[in-house]
Chain A
Amino acid sequence: MISKMRRVSDYKQLTKELPHIRYVDPEKVYINLTTSRCEDYILNVKPGDAVRLGQILGEKDGCFFKQPIYSTVSGTVEGVEKKIDGTGIEVECLVIRNDFQDTYDASITDRPDNVIEQMSQQDFVDIVREKALVGLGGSGFPSYVKLATEEPIHTVVINAVECEPYLSSDYRLIHDQPDQIFQGLSYVMKAVNAKSGVIAVKKTKKDLINILEREVKRYAHLDLRIAKLGDYYPQGWEIETYKNALGIKVPSGVLPTKLGILGFNVSTCASIYDAVKHNMPITKRYLTINGDAVKFPQSIRVRVGTLIKDLIKLCDGFTDDAEKVEMIIGGPMMGQAVDTQEVVVTPTTTSVLVFKSITDKEEPCVRCGSCVINCPVHIQPVNIMNAYKRNDTLAMKQLEANKCIECGLCAYVCTSKIHVTDYVRKAKASIG
């Protein structure tokens, strides 16, 4: 296929119609203390301490921002163990034994609406920073940095596109808790003093559009609008969403806030509501378990810090005919393959996909150009791959490998089944 074919089959029907099940009481939770960005941490508790839900356990350190670490259950601290996180690297995790009481910390109190009315942008930023909110679409970028923008913002965009195949966690969130999203959106709009809000959703998700339209009517005092976007990949990519929802083209290397657009993922938006209204850090999230090697794919409301192993057990394990499985944390296009089930759920873990292992023989590249035609950022993946293979740093720079958004489309469309994205990712890393 040498043509533009950005429509990617989405397989969401496997889970999106199912009601989510709750699995919020694991015996032990593993709170990650380090991430791929922050490798240091300060811990305020020691083994044997009793902790409460929402209590500050310590602080992530060693990067340009400090983030408090919150306990997501109440219970007893057991110690520090090494586990894998959603990016596939080994992280140190604090083990807390759950006492199943969910005793809230004293700081978790509802903030009355009249107080929220009076809050300034700085107050919102302080709450969001204090509650360690990050981009829940998968980036993990601290939300307060975005929210603290000094540029004048005219539109807040809520990204509910969820263009990755198989994922239905955002879908379930909108289905089950639309009110939180709209409250969160109204807080964000108030914080940055934006005139209008746009919720971007795929036009094929008709039931979601119904729900959202109903909510828009409820929030008639705000200038809200639903942008129905085309069903192709990578529609959920920030720049592509803005282009199609607002008609504003954000040039490469320019922050969208410069053009007056502030975007949040739909889960992030809901978490902002939780933080502002209830003073809650992120303790639970929606997670999809899907793939052809899982007996019972489903969406789960899960406690942050749960082990993937427990969740897979909850889905009745792997199918019997799956001899060897591949596990992916995140979507099939951009996710990270892991080879163990000892993976902790972090706030940014959107899904776990388990597939039957297929090994396709990689054929030589025939230079068909599909990857170039399909690339959403208009770079040349195959030439970057060849430059990387011959270690040609200059060519990698000239081909603008750093523009790559790692959407995975080049590997998806490759007629020779080459893992092009992998090479481009490596090239991107090697030129820094």
Chain B
Amino acid sequence: MPDVAIALSPLVIFAITQHGLSALWILLAAVLSMVLTEYLFYQVLDRLDKKPFKVKNDRFTLDNYTVLVSGLIYGLTLPDSTPLLITIIGGVVGVFLAKLVFGGMGQNIFNIAAFARVFVVLSFGAAAAYVNFVDETAGATALGLLMMEPFTKVETYSFWTMFSGIGLPGSLGETSGLLILVGGLYLLARRSFDVFIPLVYVGTVFVLSTAVMLQQGIGFWYPLTHIISGGLLFGAVFMATDPVTAPITRPGRVYFAFGLGVITFVIRLFGTLPEGVVFAILIMNMFVPALDYARWSNSRFTVRSGLIFAAVVALTILSVMVGASYVG
């Protein structure tokens, strides 16, 4: 877990240089709200168990950085204009409802950061006068533009801008694909995450958008835009790889990541929102127990499961292509 915090640090620095102090305040509010909520929660539990007061109690989980990482990821998914109060409410509710009530570290079903983020979107999206809150508001993002004109090339931003994130509107940490990849490579070098999840996730989006590209007869900019803009890279590297809310077996992780890719792309293409990463993560989180179910989970691919999976992939590509012909 400290590795994830290290991998996130370039993004934090980038966010602060891009958005100034407001980014710092948002990140601080996000992290502190989560850490303090957890701390207070366990202190209260200790009082109820009639344990003597200790400043650093037994279940103090800041030692292993999990709550810090959740807070950082949550903060980085927020746009820079998010009011501090909303950030704090999202953090408190997120860590309480998604983590603590399930039994704390290792027991949560939903990704804490994704849950907090979606909670903020659904509760305050309108109140805070955010139109396309899910992706960003301070200027239309590439995905926002794609939302309006599904198959028209985004001319507003160059690919370099979209990849490096310099001067690109968007959430604090999601804009710079470059730094996310750097963080991902660090995690890969440290073997801190299962690289299959981001690879299959991004790969699925790539394959599906390529299929749509072929079906529509448009340029290669289409799959590229889908991959480097929005929260896809950030979600794939930092949120979907959260081991607690991902399946345990490697085939399970591949199916999980494939599901993430499909849901993300389907929401982007057919849904009312320009972006679907956090929703995809929360939806697929619900299927983790099913993927891990003792009767069929297997720690290796078998010929049979491989064939079934290949058939499912082919069917998905086909139905997305058919569906895309009705869009726009």
Q: Spell out A's residues near B (CB within 8 Å).
A: 1-3, 5, 363-369, 372-373, 375, 378-380, 382-383, 387, 394-395, 398-399, 416
Which residues in B have their C-beta under 8 angstroms from that of A380? 248-249, 297, 299
> How distant is A214 from chain B, measured CB to nearest CB, in Å?
41
Query: How far is A284 from B27 in the complex, measured between Cα atoms in Å?
Result: 68
* Contact, CB under 8 Å: B253 / A369: yes
The one of A363, A364, A369, A395 in contact with B249, judged by C-beta atoms closer than 8 angstroms, is A369
Contact, CB under 8 Å: A367 / B106 = yes
In the bound complex, residues from chain A placing their C-beta under 8 Å from that of B166 are none
B293 to chain A, nearest CB (A): 9
Q: Which residues of A contact B192 (CB under 8 A)?
A: 1-2
User: Is B104 in the interface zone, CB < 8 Å from A?
Assistant: yes
| B residues whose Cβ falls under 8 Å from a Cβ of A | 64, 66, 104-107, 191-194, 243-244, 246-250, 253, 292, 294-295, 297-300
> Is there an interface contact between A399 and B294, defined as CB atoms closer than 8 Å?
yes
Q: Which residues of B contact A372 (CB under 8 A)?
A: 248-250, 299
The CA of A319 and the CA of B217, in the complex, are separated in Å by: 76
A367 touches B243 (CB 8 A): yes
A394–B292 Cα gap in the complex (Å)? 15
> B294–A387 contact, CB under 8 A?
yes
Verify B243–A378 contact, CB threshold 8 A: no
Specify which chain B residues have a CB less than 8 angstroms from the CB of A398 in the assembled complex.
294-295
Complex contact A367–B300 (CB within 8 A) = no
Complex contacts, B64 vs chain A, CB 8 Å: 363
What's the dominant secondary structure at chain A's contact region? loop
- On chain A, the residues within 8 Å of B292 by CB distance are 383
**A369 and B191 contacting across the interface, CB-CB below 8 Å:** no
Q: Which residues of B contact A3 (CB under 8 A)?
A: 191
Q: Which of B192, B246, B250, B294 has the most CB of A within 10 A?
A: B294
**Residue from A2, A363, A383, A387 in contact with B243 in the complex, judged by beta carbons closer than 8 Å:** A2
Cα of A378 to Cα of B294 in the assembled complex, Å: 13
CA distance A375 to B298 in the complex (A): 12
- A216–B248 Cα distance when bound, in Å, is 47
Q: With a CB–CB cut-off of 8 A, which chain B residues contact A399?
A: 294
B219 to chain A, nearest CB (A): 38
Q: Which residues of A contact B66 (CB under 8 A)?
A: 366
Alpha-carbon separation in the docked complex, A428 to B200 (Å): 35
* Measured CA separation A395–B295 after assembly (Å): 8
Q: Can you name the residue of chain B whose Cβ is closest to the Cβ of A416? A: B106
Find the B residue at minimum CB distance from A3.
B191
Q: Is the CB of B243 within 8 A of A369?
A: yes
Instruction: Report B100 CB to chain A, min CB distance, Å.
Output: 13
Chain B residue numbers with a CB within 8 Å of A5 are 191
Q: How far does the alpha carbon of A394 sit from the alpha carbon of B294 in the complex, in Å?
A: 9
On whether the beta carbons of B297 and A378 are closer than 8 Å, the reply is: no
Assess A366 versus B191: contact at CB under 8 Å? Given A383-B294, A387-B294, A399-B294: no
